[in-house]
C-alpha cells in the first residue's frame, strides 16, 4: 500500500487572507482534501499557522496544549467595534498616557485574567458565529472566560502618538485584540490592535515556517519533506509502546487494561501510543469496573 501523505506543515501566513484561504492553498499544493489548521488567525494577522495534512487533520480537536506567543502593535486613544484598526471607530481620545503609565498598566494583565470574547470572532453562541451576528448589527451576551498571560514585554514605537508593541506569551484561547482593548480601558483612553504576528504556537516556532510563495516555488517532493510527524503535536503526552498483541487489539478498538501492560497513568491522561513501527494513535486513560484502561481516541496509522 502506498504510504499516505500525513503530517504538519508550518505556514508563515501573510496578511489579508483568512486561515481557510491558507488551507485551500495547501490542499492544492499537496493534492489532498484532507487538510485542517490549528488556531485561527484573523486576516489582519500574520505568522505561524500549523496546517494539518492527511490523517494529521484528525488531530485538531485533540491538541493538548497550544500556548502561544505574539508580537502585537497597539495604538492608544482609539476604540473600534472589532478591537483592531479594521473596525469602525467608536471613540477617540487625545489624552494619551505616558510610557510609564502604559508600562504599569501592562503589568496588571500578567497572570490569570478574565476575557470577554469579542463579537467579531469565530466563536459560536447557540450554533451561530459571533462575527456573523456582529455583521448583522446584533450583539449578544458573552460569557467571560479565564485565560493566562504568562508575560508581556512592552516596547515604545512612538510615545507621543501612543504607539507601542507588546510581546505576549499566553494560553490558548487568548484574544490579543481584547487584551489591547482592555489595556486601553484601564488607561481610560481606549486602544486598538493595529498589527499582530504570531511567533510561536505549542512547540512550533516561526523560524521553521514557510510562506505560501516559498511553498509554491518548491517541488512536490520538497514540500513533502517538510512535513513534521503528527506525533509532534502531542509531545506533552506520555509515550506508551504496546507489544504486538496489544497493539493489534488497540487498533481494533479494544481498550487495554493498564495492569496487563504494567502502566499506571491517571484517569483522563492522554497518551502517545506506539508499536514496533512507531507512533500510530492517541489514547486516553478511562475508568472501568475492572480497572483503568487505555482507550483509543484517534488512529493516525491503520
* Catalytic machinery residues: 42
Name the β-bridge partners of 85.
none
Amino acid at each position: 500500500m502506498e504510504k499516505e501523505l500525513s503530517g504538519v506543515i508550518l505556514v508563515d501566513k501573510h496578511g489579508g487572507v483568512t486561515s481557510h484561504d491558507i488551507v485551500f492553498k495547501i490542499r492544492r499544493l499537496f493534492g489532498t482534501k484532507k487538510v485542517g489548521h490549528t488556531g485561527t488567525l484573523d486576516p489582519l494577522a500574520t505568522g505561524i499557522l500549523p496546517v494539518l495534512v492527511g490523517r494529521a487533520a484528525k488531530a485538531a480537536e485533540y491538541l493538548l496544549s497550544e500556548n502561544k506567543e505574539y508580537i502585537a502593535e497597539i495604538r492608544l486613544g482609539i476604540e473600534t467595534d472589532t478591537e483592531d484598526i479594521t473596525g469602525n471607530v467608536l471613540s477617540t481620545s487625545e489624552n494619551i498616557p505616558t510610557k510609564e503609565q502604559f508600562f504599569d498598566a501592562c503589568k496588571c494583565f500578567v497572570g490569570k485574567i478574565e476575557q470577554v470574547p469579542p463579537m467579531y470572532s469565530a466563536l459560536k453562541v447557540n450554533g451561530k458565529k459571533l462575527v456573523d451576528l456582529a455583521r448583522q448589527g446584533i450583539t449578544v451576551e458573552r460569557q467571560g472566560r479565564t485565560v493566562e498571560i504568562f508575560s508581556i514585554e512592552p516596547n515604545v514605537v512612538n510615545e507621543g502618538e501612543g504607539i507601542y508593541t507588546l510581546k505576549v506569551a499566553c494560553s490558548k484561547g487568548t484574544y490579543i485584540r481584547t487584551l489591547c482593548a482592555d489595556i486601553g480601558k484601564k488607561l481610560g483612553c481606549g486602544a486598538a490592535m493595529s498589527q499582530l504576528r504570531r511567533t510561536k504556537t505549542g512547540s512550533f516556532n516561526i523560524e521553521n515556517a514557510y510562506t505560501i510563495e516559498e511553498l509554491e516555488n518548491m517541488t512536490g517532493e520538497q514540500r513533502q519533506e517538510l512535513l513534521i510527524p503528527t506525533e509532534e503535536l502531542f509531545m506533552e503526552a506520555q509515550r506508551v509502546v504496546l507489544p504486538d498483541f496489544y497493539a493489534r487489539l488497540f487498533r481494533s478498538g479494544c481498550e487495554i487494561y493498564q495492569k496487563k501492560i504494567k502502566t499506571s497513568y491517571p484517569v483522563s491522561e492522554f497518551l502517545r501510543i506506539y508499536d514496533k513501527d512507531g507512533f500510530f494513535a492517541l489514547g486516553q486513560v478511562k475508568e472501568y469496573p475492572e480497572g483503568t484502561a487505555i482507550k483509543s481516541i484517534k488512529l493516525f496509522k491503520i
